[in-house]
Amino acid sequence: MIDPGNSTTSTSDTGPAGPSLRTADGVTTPLTVGVEEEFLLVDERTLRVVPAAPLVLATAAGLPAQLHPEGTRYQVEISTPVADSAITLREELATLRRTLAAAAREHGCRLLAAPSPVVAVEGPLHLTDDEPRQREQHRRFGALTDTLVSCGRHIHIGTLDVDTAVAVSNRVRPWLPTLIALAANSPFWGGRDTGHSSWRAMAWSGWPSAGPPPHFPSTAHFRRSVQTLLGSGAALDTKMVYWDLRPSGNWPTLEIRAPDMSPDIDTAVLQAELGRALVSSALRDIAEQRPDRPVRDEVLRLARWRAAHDGLEGFGLDPYTGAELPAADLAEALLDLVAPDLAAAGDLDHAARTLGGLLRAGSGAARQRAAFARRQDLTDVLRHLVEETEKF
């Protein structure tokens, strides 16, 4: 079993108010969390994706700060307000999903909380073509832009300055494969079973600016790495830094980008709880000057692939040793590691209960495959996803 290490308190506090960060002037501020979720729009009859995003967003225009277009007109995105508790975050996610689902129905659509359309997209790709940036991205990267018709969940933990976010990133990155396994929900892509639990993770690996982030010895090294991506043509701009984990280019946060989109709200909240607790644990280790345990890049990449392949039902790799372990053991090791931080935030009971439910009922990928197995019909998979999405 992977050793989750020890947890003690320090200048990065965990107390009754939850995980917090003590700033340079001695002020203690709570760590906050916000979530971005991407959805597909499907025709309510055929369950095929439809380019209805402009219409749906116009209908739901009462929440302009929380509802956004995505890379294609098949997609819409919600972004929650900043929350300081998992309870508040869950309420915000439910409200925004409900609003968006109602707007979709007005245009004969349903909301699909899935990383992929499951079946192949018919006809030409409908990019958000009113943006010159989208057209240039398609011109430069060609068929890679087909993978834009996929949906992830981005978790923002703040408030962190860039120096702190870079230092924390180094300590959070070993656990990215486990977060991928927990969220795995894209076994079907282009009308077939890919043999992977998170094909989205594999599809995004084709982008030259994607995958696990490097280990950054300093903030200067982080900035040089971003400039190298830009200078090489691998990214048009900082928005195209697609690493699984990155200091946000827009907000004072550390952004976790690895997880698949999944319909279950409690799974979404679990990812946010674990992400915030990982940041809290890393801050404490930094404050206590604990060594940053080395993780070899090649092992982390293999661990990422194994997580995307096996999901929660199979095996994964200990990122520190490369040893093969049951994915469930790695998930429980992560929970053990951050349990003090979860408890301080009041999140431990929910996180443990939700993880236990996932281990019993199976990951999103396993549930999709179970839906398909009944009649060997992908329509059943799509119907299952729509029904799960609308459980607010």
Residue 29: pLDDT band with limits 50, 70, 90: low
Average per-residue pLDDT for the chain:
91
Compute the distance between CA of residue 75 and CA of residue 50 in angstroms, rounded to an integer: 9
* The pLDDT of residue 86: 94
DSSP string, 320-343: TT--EEEHHHHHHHHHHHHHHHHH
From 18-22, 31-35, 49-53, 284-288, the region with the lowest mean pLDDT: 18-22
Q: Which domains does the chain have, with CATH numbers?
A: 26-389 (3.30.590.20)
Q: Among 282, 278, 323, which Cα is nearest to 299's?
A: 323
* The pLDDT of residue 246: 98
Compute the distance between CA of residue 392 and CA of residue 383 in angstroms, rounded to an integer: 16
* The pLDDT of residue 15: 40
pLDDT single digits (tens) 278-302: 999 999 999 999 999 999 999 999 9
Tell me the average pLDDT across 82-87.
94
* The pLDDT of residue 146: 87
User: Which one has a higher pLDDT value, 66 or 270?
Assistant: 270
pLDDT single digits (tens) 114-132: 999 999 888 777 777 656 8
CB environment 166-205: b (16+ within 10 A), e (fewer): bbbbbbbbbbbbbbbbbbbbbbbbeeeebebbbbbbbbbb
State percent of the chain over pLDDT 90: 81
Q: What is the pTM of this model?
A: 0.92
Does residue 134 surpass a pLDDT of 60?
A: yes
* The pLDDT of residue 341: 97
**Which SS3 state, helix, strand or coil, does residue 110 take?**
strand
Tell me the average pLDDT across 366-381.
97
The span from the first CA to the last CA of the chain, in angstroms, equals 36
Tell me the average pLDDT across 258-277.
96
* The pLDDT of residue 291: 95
**Contact status, residue 113 vs residue 151, Cβ threshold 8 Å:** yes
* The pLDDT of residue 166: 98
**In terms of DSSP H, where are the helices of the chain?**
53-59, 86-105, 132-141, 162-172, 176-183, 199-204, 219-232, 265-287, 297-310, 327-344, 348-361, 364-373, 378-389
User: Which one has a higher pLDDT value, 100 or 64?
Assistant: 100
State percent of the chain over pLDDT 70: 91
Does residue 22 surpass a pLDDT of 80?
A: no
* The pLDDT of residue 28: 54
* The pLDDT of residue 209: 97
Tell me the average pLDDT across 3-14.
39
Does residue 318 surpass a pLDDT of 50?
A: yes
Residue 161: CB partners within 8 Å, gap ≥ 6? Answer: 252
pLDDT single digits (tens) 158-183: 999 999 999 999 999 999 999 999 99
Residue 138: pLDDT band with limits 50, 70, 90: confident
